[in-house]
A and B are shown apart, each in its own frame.
Chain A
Amino acid sequence: MSFTTRLVEVRTKILKENDVAARRLRQRFAEQGRTVISLVSSPGAGKTRLLEETVRRLATRYRVAVVVGDLATDNDAERLAGTGVLVKQITTGTVCHLEAEMVSKAIDSWSEIALDFLFLENVGNLVCPAGYDLGENLRIVAFSVTEGEDKPLKYPTIFNTADAVVLTKMDLCEATEFDEPEARRSIRQVRPGMRVMKVSAKTGEGMADWTAWLEKSREFDKPSSLDVGKSQGT
């Protein structure tokens, strides 16, 4: 048989549906005056602990809520509920990341509730969440000092889609002989100019600076660092 083939141009983003849902969310968040912060990290980097301390501090002055994504269990949601803020758990089952539509469904019942800050704790995973825009204003990577300084070099994509890094568990810095300059070099190499903040949720070190930065982010529609961040194209 000698049929020749021809190419039909499609030019579609494979994750277009997620991008569209994320854009809708972002627009709604802006209209509602919500600042939305997503948190990604490898499992065990201290996202939940960091969030517990963060929302506890912010909740004295702001209306705060959290959405937590996990493959299974609602342990993290229970911990966060202990802070007294609104919490929703998304159990993703076998899905390794949150998607915009999951977030949209999870917060559906909060549409009439006034919120200043909404935190989205993603599934602990440094690979899959990278490609999924959740409509957030800022994406933060939590990077603990118990991980290798070269983590950014191993997972450049997630660092590349994020807006800032929070170095967590700083109280363990000495015990783990964490080489901070080396870690900063790694971060710079994959994402030049990215802000790095240091915290210990346990001792409170750096928490005031971190929450002050979050408060400041409310003043801007889009932080300048976002223009080299995740793709927000069509």
Chain B
Amino acid sequence: MHELSIAIKVLEIAKRGMVRQAGMELVAIHLQIGPLAGVVVESLQSAYEIARLQSSFPDAELRIEQTELTIDCPRCRSVQPVVAVNDLHCRRCGELSGKIVGGRELDIISLEVMPCPSRHA
């Protein structure tokens, strides 16, 4: 339900980041989102499609990488993926663990830029 506000926030952060990219055009914004971020990726994607039209970057794409939910498995003694978001048993050995390592990500990783065509054409 709050995906639109997240989409707007993404565009704000991108705008701040682009200040240092004089002469560059924003092509895409790369995000990483974990299954425990509380965000529905499809909703965010469609909210972004609306938000970007009102922003400084109507042509910038949103590229979302969905990360895996991983635990520190006490039996495997290593970081392992779990069976499912609602089943924190280790996918490898079946042990249950509450030590979550990855899966809460809701991050902007990078801005994909290229030289402004208008300036270099």
Contact = CB atoms under 8 A, between A and B. Distances in A.
A156 interface: yes
B77 interface: no
A128 B114 CA distance: 35
A10 B113 CA distance: 12
A10 B1 contact: no
A7 B110 contact: yes
Interface string A123-134: 001011011000
Contacts of B41: none
Interface residues of B, number: 43
A26 interface: no
Interface string B15-56: 001000100000110110001111100000000000000000
Contacts of A188: 96
B66 to A, nearest CB: 14
Interface stretch (A11-19, A46-54, A201-209): A11-19
Interface stretch (A62-70, A136-144, A189-197): A189-197
A11 B109 CA distance: 4
Given A3-B114, A153-B86, A156-B86, A14 B98 contact: no
A127 B120 contact: no
Contacts, number: 112
A162 to B, nearest CB: 12
Nearest to A6: B113
Given A8-B17, A228-B98, A14 B107 contact: yes
B108 A14 contact: yes
Contacts of A152: 86
A204 B32 CA distance: 46
Interface SS of chain A:
mixed
Given A7-B30, A189-B88, A13 B100 contact: no
B112 A7 contact: yes
A131 B106 contact: yes
B88 A12 contact: no
Nearest to B112: A5
B110 A5 contact: no
29 contacts: A5-B28, A5-B112, A5-B114, A6-B114, A7-B111, A8-B110, A9-B110, A10-B108, A11-B110, A14-B31, A17-B9, A95-B2, A96-B1, A125-B1, A128-B1, A128-B2, A131-B37, A131-B38, A156-B36, A156-B86, A157-B37, A160-B36, A189-B86, A189-B89, A190-B85, A190-B87, A191-B88, A228-B99, A228-B100
Interface of A: 1, 3-15, 17, 95-97, 125, 127-128, 130-131, 152-154, 156-158, 160-161, 188-194, 228, 231
Please name the 7 residue pairs, one residue from A and one from B, whose CB atoms are nearest each other, closest first. A130-B38, A131-B38, A192-B98, A156-B86, A96-B1, A153-B86, A7-B110
Interface of B: 1-2, 5-6, 9-10, 13-14, 17, 21, 27-28, 30-31, 35-39, 85-89, 96-100, 104, 106-115, 117, 120-121
